[in-house]
Amino acid sequence: MARGRRQLRGDKLKAAILAELGRMSNLSPKTDPISISSLADRLKVSRQSIYSNKFKPLVDEFAELQRSNYNQNIEVGIKRKPLEKRIEDLEKENADLKARLDNYIERWVAIEYNARMMGINADDLFVVAPKPLRSIRRK
């Protein structure tokens, strides 16, 4: 059996909680809300250890701090790429799609050409095949 990490207790638990709450207070409350459960998951301790050491008021204080510090306009500005970068990405995607389309057209023209050289009507090659005439037995 592999030995696990030592449980946080006492002053080490308090220091770890304060450090983690400090990190989490700068994150978005939508993606990383501060709560007893999320804190316990991040520290890999039980929720009971947080409750029994009376850290709930501290967690609530940091959760309120996180909500007051959060500004949705700043997050939108961070997530959104600059206009020049978006245009550059779209031009790159457009060029890629054009190259793929040219590749498909080239393949289609090769099939059409070879069919005509062999005396086959190319339109007959692209007709949808009918469903097979067979029944499936079900038990």
63 and 95 part of one domain: no
* pLDDT value, residue 2: 46
Domain assignment present for residue 131? The answer is no
In angstroms, the CA 55 to CA 57 distance is 6
85 and 116 part of one domain: yes
66 and 88 part of one domain: no
Give the CA distances from residue 84 to residues 74, 81, 111, in Å, rounded to whole numbers and listed in that order: 19, 8, 41
Average the pLDDT over 62-75 and give the result.
Answer: 74
Under the phi-then-psi rule, with left for phi > 0, alpha for psi from -120 to 50, and beta for the rest, what region is 54? left
Domain that holds residue 99: 81-125
Whole-structure pTM value? 0.46
85 and 72 part of one domain: no
Domain assignment present for residue 1? The answer is no
Closest CA to 34 of 12, 51, 56: 56
pLDDT digits (tens, 9 = 90+) for 72-110: 655 555 566 788 999 999 999 999 999 999 999 999 999
Closest CA to 18 of 66, 69, 67, 62: 62
Domain assignment present for residue 139? The answer is no
